[in-house]
Structure 1
């Protein structure tokens, strides 16, 4: 089967297509012929060497999410059959024509959702649900500030928060404002020309927001904390701006009774990731089927063009997900 590999860490150019053996089906596995493969920022970090040559449970090749058709299954699989349309999260090995996935991290693709579009669901929506609801405990009537709202996880988080009845503040570049408002944001803040802490303070009459979902890290830490209301919760999902030289205003943390969480999916145990997938599926698969929430796709690349897909993600121009499509998949 064709897969994408790299022999040395480096830029997008290190990614090359190569024929690899089809992986063995283990007792709990589905073997899936991929129709679409999601590209994630964790893939960029993997390619650059951030995780070393770590093995995350399914393959040492890169890639975290897939959608496709089941072609074989292990003897302990329950709830799935050959021919089923599935989507889900893998511990590596997504960048290939065929991938194995533990059936406890797979979901049936809802009726009415295109199989290729389903490749843009699992990683971003599961991550967004985990941050907003499982960790931050966002409730209807509360307010939330979501950074990087035009990206994959950000666009999913805006949709979920809006569907849950929250007031949504979102940051993005001004050229992406209309898209972010279309996802369900009530207020879109241009991070290039506006100060989000000032906008939030003015819009909430100084109260602040109940929840912050952050992907930027150190440069936003102090302003994020000072944007939180009493009893507010912040979840750090990424470090796009780096981790060094962060300033944490301890007075705000102490006197406003704040909570700060960090979350990352790639290095979690299989049991934790299975629980994350199942929590999302229980609450939101019906909404996907109804079209209340939807995957947002920016561009589709052939699997062999993975290097170009990584270049596009690194440019920061994307709105929503970038997908890789194996040969033979309709683009």
Structure 2
């Protein structure tokens, strides 16, 4: 089969299309003909050597989410058969014509969705649900501040918050704000020209928001804390702006009953990942069909052979929603 490989860490040019062996089917695996694969920022970190090794533990091929057709079913698999259309999160190996996926990380593709849009769901919507709904405990009537709201996880979080009945504050680059409003944001903030903490304070009469979903890290930390209401939760999903050291007034944390929660899917135990997918599937999967549909947001598609161009598109930070690789 054909897959994207790289022999050294570096810029996008290291990615090459090559002929490789098909993955071995294990008892809990589905072997899937990949029709589309999502591109994630973790792939960029992987390519640059940020994880210090050439694989994610399950494959030397990069890529974390797929949509395709089941070719073979492992002996311990339940609920799937050859020919089923599935999407899901893999432990590496998505940038290939064939991939394997633990059946508990897979989900059936809603009937109305094609493979490209299905591939735009698993990583970002599961992450958004886990961060905002499960850990952040967002509920109807709450207010939430979502950073990087035009990105993959951010655009998913905006939709889930809107569907929950929360008031949605969202930051993005100015040219992307209109699209974020279309996804369900009530208040949009141009992070380049506006102070989001001041904006939130003004719009909430100084109360703040119940939940902050942040992907940036240290540059936003103090203002995130300042934006939280009494009993608020800051859920740290990424550190795109750098990790570094942060300082916090412990009295603010203590007397305002603030919680700071970190979450990364990649470093969780496999059983925890199964539970994350299960929680998302139970709450939201049926909302991708029928009335009041959730929308997989696709920015652009690239053939598998042009994976380097897909990475450059993500590095440009111009995308709104997911970048997808296609194999057919």
Q: If the length of structure 2 is used for normalisation, what is the TM-score?
A: 0.98
Map 1:49-60 to 2 at 5 A: 49-53=49-53, 55-60=55-60
Map 1:1-331 to 2 at 5 A: 1-53=1-53, 55-290=55-290, 292-326=293-327, 329=328
Separation in structure 2 between the aligned mates of residue 127 and residue 211 of structure 1, nearest angstrom = 15
Post-superposition offset of 1:249: 3.1
Look up the SS of the partner of 1:322 in the other structure: strand
- Bigger drift between 56-65 and 308-317 goes to 56-65
Q: CA separation of 1:231/1:54 partners in 2, compared to 1, >3 Å: closer, same or farther?
A: farther
CA deviation vs aligned residue, 1:78-108 (integer Å, no higher than 9, x gap): 1001000000000000010000001000000
Post-superposition offset of 1:115: 1.9
Look up the SS of the partner of 2:230 in the other structure: strand
Separation in structure 1 between the aligned mates of residue 102 and residue 240 of structure 2, nearest angstrom = 30
> Which ranges in structure 2 are unaligned for 5 or more consecutive residues?
none
Look up the SS of the partner of 1:149 in the other structure: coil
Separation in structure 2 between the aligned mates of residue 205 and residue 35 of structure 1, nearest angstrom = 49
CA deviation vs aligned residue, 1:266-310 (integer Å, no higher than 9, x gap): 122211111111110000011112352110000000101111110
CA RMSD of aligned residues (A): 1.0
Look up the SS of the partner of 1:301 in the other structure: strand
Separation in structure 2 between the aligned mates of residue 322 and residue 249 of structure 1, nearest angstrom = 39
> Which ranges in structure 1 are unaligned for 5 or more consecutive residues?
none
Look up the SS of the partner of 1:323 in the other structure: strand
Equivalent pairs, count: 327
Q: Is the 8 A contact 2:313 2:319 kept in 1?
A: yes
- Bigger drift between 286-295 and 27-36 goes to 286-295
Separation in structure 2 between the aligned mates of residue 87 and residue 4 of structure 1, nearest angstrom = 20
CA deviation vs aligned residue, 1:206-246 (integer Å, no higher than 9, x gap): 00000000000000000000100000001000111001242
Separation in structure 2 between the aligned mates of residue 260 and residue 289 of structure 1, nearest angstrom = 34
Q: Is the 8 A contact 2:38 2:119 kept in 1?
A: yes
Separation in structure 2 between the aligned mates of residue 187 and residue 299 of structure 1, nearest angstrom = 26
Look up the SS of the partner of 1:72 in the other structure: strand
Separation in structure 1 between the aligned mates of residue 316 and residue 23 of structure 2, nearest angstrom = 33
Separation in structure 2 between the aligned mates of residue 11 and residue 163 of structure 1, nearest angstrom = 39
Q: Is the 8 A contact 1:56 1:267 kept in 2?
A: no
Post-superposition offset of 1:54: 5.8
CA deviation vs aligned residue, 1:235-265 (integer Å, no higher than 9, x gap): 0001110012423233321221100000111
